[in-house]
Amino acid sequence: MRKPKITVIGSINMDLVTITKRMPLQGETVVGETFRLIPGGKGANQAVAAARLGADVQMIGAVGTDAFGTELLQHLAKEGIIVDGVKPVTDTETGIATIIISEGDNRIIVVPGANHALRSDDLERWEEKIATSDVCLLQLEIPLSVVERAVSIAKRNGVRVILNPAPAQPLPDTLLDQVDFLTPNEHERDVVLAGRPLKQWAHKLIVTEGKRGVSFQRNGEQVLIPGFRVPVVDTTGAGDTFNGALAVALSKGMALEDACRYANAAAALSVTKLGAQTGMPTERELESFLAEKG
């Protein structure tokens, strides 16, 4: 069977992860338990999730020419991801995310750095690679103008587009009209579609609802795919795992309901380990989990 071919256009960060028993209050200092540097960024996370599930993945993005940038490129390459489309940027640092984890939940501050140095014109040289993809997967940690150009390139080549609208911001109608699927959580959905009729794009919405699962519309009716019950260690990257797995499932030709269940299971497995990418399952692990759950 031919491997799914996915192009991910998005952010590449280094995650600075601190684990503490409780979140500090405003102006308060608490003593943390552990600190780790973990490769992250929503784009890179989704690329790793898809690659671990057996897809051929190419990444388009930008990193600084600093130590973090070098380490992140090496890490992506080790995951089997093609990084020819990642632009080195000399005048700014690699993006970082500061993540505080407490009681199985997290708070995150992202500093975009080189991710915002990616330009629309950078995509033109990669049009042929985008055109041969089964799915183009995007998020919003890169400039919106780049996202819009990527969607335009994908659609004129007949490539299916999944847009994960995170971090949430209002999006132009022209962009929403072109994408095939929008994958927000409930908060992101409300921000993206604020003041506009939900029904106009309801057929494109796949809404992640945490442990409840994921919902979408089928023939005008709301469908909820329940989540899987697992011990939660760290929720960081669960949504990214879902999106990477969804891209793989749809590339394999799965029906939307089956694809959502597949992606739900991948996301569930991801929260059982610390770190966004470190918790992402392999294809074998996911198939075993699905078989176990019937």
Catalytic residue among 15, 56, 234, 240: 240
C-alpha distances out from residue 13 to 95, 99, 103, 276, Å = 5, 12, 24, 11
Residue whose structure tokens are 């879902």: 242
State yes or no: is 240 an active-site residue.
Answer: yes
Helix (H) or strand (E) holding 70: helix 67-78
User: Residue 291 phi/psi, 5° resolution?
Assistant: -65, -40
Beta-strand ranges (E) seen in the chain are 5-9, 13-19, 34-40, 56-64, 82-89, 95-102, 105-111, 135-138, 160-163, 181-182, 206-208, 213-218, 221-226
Known catalytic residues are 240
